[in-house]
Amino acid sequence: MPEEKEPRVLVAIPAYNCENTVACVVRECRSYVPDVLVVDDGSVDETATVARMAGARVLRHERNQGKGMAIRSAANEAMQGGYSGLLTIDGDGQHDGTAVPRFNAAHRRSPQTLWVGWRREGLKDASVMRRVGNRFANRALEVLAGVRLPDTQCGLRLYPTELLRRLSLRGSRYEVESEILIKAQAQGCQIRSLPIRVRFADGRPTSHYRPWADTARICNLICRHSLQHLLAAPGSLAAGLTFTHVPLAAAAFGASGLGLAVTPALAFHLAMGASLLRPRGQTWVDTEVDFPSTPGSSEIALTFDDGPDPMATPRILDLLERANVPATFFLIGRNVDRSPGLVAEIAARGHALGNHTYSHLHRFSLVGYDVLAREVDRAQESIQRASGQVPILLRPPVGHKNVSLGRVLRERRMRCVTWTASCHDTLFRHPVRLADRLSRKAHPGAILLLHDRVCGDLRMLDTLPRLIDQLSSRGFQFTTLPGAR
């Protein structure tokens, strides 16, 4: 039997203007673990310098983006570094570093569990506003999201890296910690608490938590996710449909004017159509339209839909290999069954694979749960047979959504990905204009959409090299989508 790898944990310290405390936190952590990362979130003091002198590796944001973005940057580092867990501890010195070995031991016992600190005694000394806000958040997460923890806002946590790979995070500040709990709960991840000590009351000047603004962001996040699940329930859809069509029924019996009666029904259908057909829409499922680029770099992702194609895909693979560019291929299951060897070659050349459903149904938004689940599962099975890999990313056909898509993805622990920019290469075939259009829309973390069969066409072979040259000249670095396999 192959020997199992010992779990490795990366300790990450989000820090903003913590030059007086971060060195002590780093030294405490390094006495227990060798890997300590400080994410300097745009500090204007000497936080980064002090952290390096204390022995930490420093990842710096050029401007302050919020604790959530610092955690997301640390998560990318943990995933890319092959760590099994990410332990976050605040840089202001409030957390007792002796908790680090206890969290590590808990992670070794249960590597798939999300461990959250419980400030059992420390919260008693916190300000009234902090205590009220914490209790409110605890209760809201329990009632609306099913997360039952005594302290949902503690920043000392240990996240399994495999969980982080599956999550699509949107928050940028303190609300991201609640977002992770909600999405981990939805995916069936076990969440448990570990009692910890704090060395001073929450709310001292080193804390950057804004009681009103950040509590409001957390509440908005909880309500949005609750509404998303409510809207997707068949009963809620039926109620909305009935309510908006009652005036039409009344008009049929002469109880109201037809023009007035049509308005709510038309508004309902327009809203539904817009929410289902918009690729960037977030109503029915959290959709990744970009990704957090590693600080200090300008990463960008090329993605190809609708493959594999026996004529086009080999040409694209050769072009990418000559340019030393990795890409992510979203494959249609029936095409995979026709060219399984080509899928294996895509994976062997270091590219990532994603699910683009089995049949690429253009009525994707209209099918029921069973058809939707079958489309996803058959494509997963085809890709696994051909490559030995099981994708965790799904790109729905044409970027359309389905009211059951969120449920299907949660059950399979997958993520929905669309794109930042498209050049509409299925409609237009001018290589220079297409490359220029995509290049103009590029930015760090952008996901660019191209199509396998189109880009491999003889008339289009100039598009990809031109695009790669333009992006490279602007300093962009190419990567596969985070979490893709």
SS (H, E, C) the chain: CCCCCCCCEEEEEEECCCCCCHHHHHHHHHCCCCCEEEEEECCCCCHHHHHHHCCCEEEEECCCCCHHHHHHHHHHHHHHCCCCEEEECCCCCCECCCHHHHHHHHHHHCCCCEEEEECCCHHHHCCHHHHHHHHHHHHHHHHHHCCCCCCCCCCCEEEEHHHHHHCCCCCCCCHHHHHHHHHHHHCCCCEEEEECCECCCCCCCCCCCCHHHHHHHHHHHHHHHHHHHHHHCHHHHHHHHHHHHHHHHHHHCCCCCHHHHHHHHHHHHHHHHHHHHCCCCCCCCCEECECCCCCCCCEEEEEEEEECCCCHHHHHHHHHHHHCCCCEEEECHHHHHHCHHHHHHHHHCCCEEEECCCCCCCCHHHCCHHHHHHHHHHHHHHHHHHHCCCCCEECCHHHCCCCCHHHHHHHHCCEEECCCEECCCCCCCCHHHHHHHHHHHCCCCEEEEEEHHHHCCHHHCCHHHHHHHHHHHCCCEECCCCCCC
Q: Which of 17-21, 187-191, 214-218, 407-411 has the lowest mean pLDDT?
A: 214-218
Q: Is the pLDDT of residue 332 over 50?
A: yes
Residue whose entry in the numeric block shows the structure tokens 């059992």: 120
Tokens of 78: 């943990």
* Residue 251 within a domain: yes
Of residues 290, 305, 309, 452, which has the active-site annotation?
A: 305
Is residue 61 annotated as a catalytic residue, yes or no? no
Average pLDDT estimate for 346-353: 96
Q: pTM for this one?
A: 0.77
Question: Do 61 and 106 belong to one domain?
Answer: yes
Rounded-to-integer distance, Cα 71 and Cα 232, Å: 29
Question: Do 331 and 398 belong to one domain?
Answer: yes
Question: Do 139 and 244 belong to one domain?
Answer: no
Q: Are 440 and 423 spatial neighbours (Cβ–Cβ below 8 Å)?
A: no
The contacts of residue 341 (CB under 8 Å, 6+ apart) are: 386
The last residue of one of the domains, among 277, 312, 343, is 277
Q: Is the pLDDT of residue 172 over 80?
A: no
- The mean of the pLDDT values for the chain is 87
Beta pairing, strands 328-331 & 352-355: parallel
Tell me, what's the pLDDT at 214? 67
Question: Do 266 and 324 belong to one domain?
Answer: no
Q: How confident is the model at residue 255 (pLDDT cuts 50, 70, 90)?
A: low
Highest average pLDDT, of 190-199, 205-214, 244-253, comes from 190-199
Q: Count how many domains the chain has.
A: 3
Q: Dihedrals φ, ψ of 88, to 5°? A: -105, 140
Question: Do 253 and 209 belong to one domain?
Answer: no
Question: Do 190 and 259 belong to one domain?
Answer: no
Q: Is the pLDDT of residue 371 over 80?
A: yes
Q: Are 7 and 78 spatial neighbours (Cβ–Cβ below 8 Å)?
A: no
Rounded-to-integer distance, Cα 395 and Cα 287, Å: 9
Which CATH number does the domain housing residue 166 bear? Answer: 3.90.550.10
Q: Is the pLDDT of residue 130 over 90?
A: no
Rounded-to-integer distance, Cα 59 and Cα 55, Å: 13
Which CATH number does the domain housing residue 429 bear? Answer: 3.20.20.370
Tell me, what's the pLDDT at 1? 40
Residue whose entry in the numeric block shows the structure tokens 């009935």: 242
Peptide bond into 295 cis (omega under 30): no
pLDDT, one tens digit per residue, over 210-243 is 665 666 777 777 777 776 666 666 777 778 778 7
Other beta carbons within 10 Å of 485: 18
Highest average pLDDT, of 194-198, 245-249, 428-432, comes from 194-198
Residue type, 158: L
Rg (CA), the chain: 24
Average pLDDT estimate for 280-298: 83
Average pLDDT estimate for 158-184: 87
* Residue 484 within a domain: no
Average pLDDT estimate for 59-84: 91
* Residue 189 within a domain: yes
* Residue 410 within a domain: yes
Question: Do 33 and 113 belong to one domain?
Answer: yes
Question: Do 104 and 241 belong to one domain?
Answer: no
* Residue 391 within a domain: yes
Other beta carbons within 10 Å of 113: 19
Q: How confident is the model at residue 204 (pLDDT cuts 50, 70, 90)?
A: very low
Tell me, what's the pLDDT at 2? 43
Can you give the residue range of the structural domain that contains 157? Answer: 9-225
Question: Do 349 and 457 belong to one domain?
Answer: yes
Question: Do 246 and 350 belong to one domain?
Answer: no
Question: Do 27 and 170 belong to one domain?
Answer: yes
Tell me, what's the pLDDT at 173? 81
Q: Which of 6-10, 123-127, 164-168, 307-311 has the lowest mean pLDDT?
A: 123-127
Rounded-to-integer distance, Cα 119 and Cα 196, Å: 5
Question: Do 37 and 159 belong to one domain?
Answer: yes
Q: How confident is the model at residue 364 (pLDDT cuts 50, 70, 90)?
A: very high
Q: How far apart are the first and last CA of the chain?
A: 24
Higher per-residue pLDDT: 449 or 3: 449
Rounded-to-integer distance, Cα 425 and Cα 387, Å: 28
The last residue of one of the domains, among 243, 277, 311, is 277
Q: Dihedrals φ, ψ of 109, to 5°? A: -70, -40
* Residue 317 within a domain: yes
The last residue of one of the domains, among 246, 277, 308, is 277
Q: Dihedrals φ, ψ of 254, to 5°? A: 80, 15
Q: Is the pLDDT of residue 287 over 60?
A: yes
Of residues 40, 92, 451, 452, which has the active-site annotation?
A: 451
Q: How confident is the model at residue 261 (pLDDT cuts 50, 70, 90)?
A: confident
* Residue 2 within a domain: no
pLDDT, one tens digit per residue, over 387-398 is 999 999 999 999
Q: Is the pLDDT of residue 124 over 90?
A: no
Q: Are 447 and 417 spatial neighbours (Cβ–Cβ below 8 Å)?
A: yes
Is residue 305 annotated as a catalytic residue, yes or no? yes
